[in-house]
Amino acid sequence: MEQIKRTEKQKCWKEACFSDMQEEQELHEECGVFGMYDLDGGNVAGTIYYGLFSLQHRGQESCGIAVSRTDGPKRNSDVCKGMGLVNEVFQAERLEKMNGDIGVGHVRYSTAGASVAENTQPLVLNYIKGTLSLAHNGNLVNALDLRTELELGGAIFQTTIDSEVIAYLIAKERLHTGTVEQAVKNAMQRIRGAYSLVVASPRKLIGARDPEGFRPLCIGKRDHAYILASETCALDTIGAEFVRDVEPGEIVTITPEGLFSDKSMVKGSASRCIFEYIYFARPDSYIDGICVHHSRMTAGRILAQTHPVDADIVVGVPESGNAAAMGYAVESGIPYGTAFVKNSYVGRTFIKPKQSARESSVRIKLNVLREVVAGKRVIMVDDSIVRGTTSARIVKMLKDAGAAEVHVRISSPPFKYPCYFGTDVPSSEELPAYSHSVEEIREMIGADSLGYLDMNRLHELLDGDTGYCHACFSGEYPVQPPKEDIRGER
């Protein structure tokens, strides 16, 4: 009887995969932050724009820039933000009018809080000490408790995002401290979870990273300007020199006197998000000294060692699957090929097909090169299987294009548990790997074989460093998760 129920469940799941109404499910990026302080007094809005453009992959729902002049009054901020991509929200005329030598920028995908204009960042607070502009990447696990406490104290919230909780805490602490960086530190002692922060006060730019180091943050310098950014690719885009990464638990403060560091909250160990290396970050970025492209090549090599198969060609699912596919090809000796053409102009904001339409969003994003795969045994390398819907559609596309066999290799272990630290991994009940075997998932997606990255070899992606978070695979959370899932709408 149990086997019958399991078979019926698999059948229903597979039918849902190919339903015209089924929305494509894949991992979403969290957010990207960028900050700049030009000590020579030059305008920074244009540079922040290009920095955000290079971080667009981290969030495609909304974006914003807030700038101010450090030689002006303490409340002189100029803010521009809205729903959509960077090149949709910011117009040249508007950027030219934004006059400020210090500022922060943000690109967003909602992991907590609805996808509405009110929740766009940076958040800008005007309070007794002046203006506070904040951009946040990550997710707090105690945001609800802190929000309730602040509301009982009279705080009025304008958004539903946990970033506003952080902003209020900093503003509140600033009333009782001598410096804004001390206020940031006091706030950090109360919040739990993942956060990389860029904060602009009337006279200082501050960067902070949570003690676990879940989310990346680095420091750059161009002439007499300092930059804080989620990834080093943003520094490359604007011609800035990479200085170093902000350490987990570190607070850096930039003033006209230079850069100052507070490492009193650095604990020595870390739990960096392994998926920054597998999927989220751009391949040309370096995170905590490790090349993202190298990590993905390593994952592919491991897959070739642990899940070999006779085939004619190795292909990657763009973009993050490409480097892993190259690693697999190099290690196995099987030729690497390009099987997919990607529509580079499709973001998260494209119009979903109506119920009556037969186009799927996968086909809008990707198309198969028939001449490359027809009659061939194909190894298809991708970064993950979340609900499996997208994988099933891509396997079907390859077979419809004439592939004789499709062997799927995944450059991460099976997803079994939700993430509470800024990655859009759903609840366990929605993850096939939580309740199904690898063989059952293989059947669900229609592949001829399926192999995942071995959990025991994950550390090789970080050159042997074991300071990473693998909770979405193991259920072992480095920070105690909330008792209820409060991650907000998706």
State the Cα–Cα distance between residues 437 and 339, nearest whole angstrom: 28
Over residues 82-93, the pLDDT tens digits come to: 999 999 999 999
> Residue 76 phi/psi, 5° resolution?
-140, 30
Domains of the chain: 31-270 (3.60.20.10), 290-469 (3.40.50.2020)
Span of 37-51, 108-122, 152-166 with lowest mean pLDDT = 108-122
Out of 12, 17, 31, 233, pick the active-site residue: 31
Given this model, what pLDDT does residue 425 score? 75
State the Cα–Cα distance between residues 238 and 53, nearest whole angstrom: 10
Has residue 297 got a pLDDT over 50?
yes
Listed in sequence order, the DSSP H helices in 276-388 are 292-306, 320-332, 361-365, 370-373
Given this model, what pLDDT does residue 21 score? 31
State the Cα–Cα distance between residues 164 and 174, nearest whole angstrom: 15
Smallest Cα–Cα separation from 140: which of 30, 44, 240, 299?
30
Dihedral angle over CA of 25, 394, 324, 350, nearest 10 = -50
Task: Check: CB of residue 53 under 8 Å from CB of residue 107.
Answer: no
Given this model, what pLDDT does residue 453 score? 98
Surface-to-core class of residue 157, CB atoms within 10 Å of its CB (0-12 exposed, 13-18 middle, 19+ buried) = middle
Given this model, what pLDDT does residue 364 score? 78
Given this model, what pLDDT does residue 486 score? 52
16 vs 168, higher pLDDT: 168
pLDDT band at 482 (very low <50, low <70, confident <90, very high): confident
Within 13 Å, how many C-alpha atoms sit on residue 88's CB side? 14
* Stated pTM of the model: 0.89
Has residue 400 got a pLDDT over 70?
yes
Q: Across 19-177, where does the E strand assignment appear?
A: 31-38, 62-68, 78-83, 102-108, 123-127, 130-140
Interval 409-416 mean pLDDT: 96
Interval 377-395 mean pLDDT: 94
Q: How many separate helices (H) and strands (E) can be counted in the chain?
A: 17, 23
Has residue 11 got a pLDDT over 70?
no
169 to 77, 79, 125, 191, 214: CA distances (angstroms): 20, 21, 11, 9, 21
Q: Would you mind telling me the total number of residues written for the chain in this entry?
A: 490
What is the CA angle 90-91-97, rounded to 5? 95
Given this model, what pLDDT does residue 489 score? 37
State the Cα–Cα distance between residues 198 and 252, nearest whole angstrom: 10
DSSP secondary-structure letter at 160?
A: S
Please report, as a single letter, which amino acid is at residue 32.
G
Task: Quote the mean pLDDT of the chain.
Answer: 89
Over residues 197-239, the pLDDT tens digits come to: 999 999 999 999 999 999 999 999 999 999 999 999 999 999 9
228 vs 24, higher pLDDT: 228
Given this model, what pLDDT does residue 361 score? 67
Q: What share of the chain is helix, strand, coil (3-state, %, to 5)?
A: 35, 25, 45
Dihedral angle over CA of 352, 357, 360, 363, nearest 10 = -110
Interval 270-296 mean pLDDT: 96
Has residue 354 got a pLDDT over 50?
no
Helix (H) or strand (E) holding 379: strand 377-382
Tokens of 7: 């078979």
Has residue 160 got a pLDDT over 90?
no
Residues paired with residue 134 on neighbouring β-strands, in sequence order: 123, 199
Over residues 316-351, the pLDDT tens digits come to: 999 889 999 999 999 999 999 999 998 876 654 344
Strand 366-368 and strand 340-342: the pairing is antiparallel
Helix axis angle, 2-17 to 389-400, nearest 10°: 70
What percentage of the chain carries pLDDT values higher than 90? 78
Smallest Cα–Cα separation from 417: which of 376, 454, 472?
472
Given this model, what pLDDT does residue 28 score? 52
State the Cα–Cα distance between residues 301 and 323, nearest whole angstrom: 10
Has residue 24 got a pLDDT over 90?
no
31 belongs to the catalytic site? yes
pLDDT band at 110 (very low <50, low <70, confident <90, very high): low
Over residues 420-433, the pLDDT tens digits come to: 998 877 788 889 99
Interval 113-128 mean pLDDT: 84
Given this model, what pLDDT does residue 131 score? 94
Over residues 447-474, the pLDDT tens digits come to: 999 999 999 999 999 999 989 999 999 9
List b or e across 80-105, with b for residues whose CB sees 16 or more CB atoms inside 10 angstroms.
Answer: bbebbbbeebbeeeebeebebbbbbb
Contacts of 464-468 with CB under 8 Å at 24 or more apart are: 465/290, 467/213, 467/269, 467/270, 467/271, 467/272, 468/270, 468/271, 468/272, 468/273, 468/274
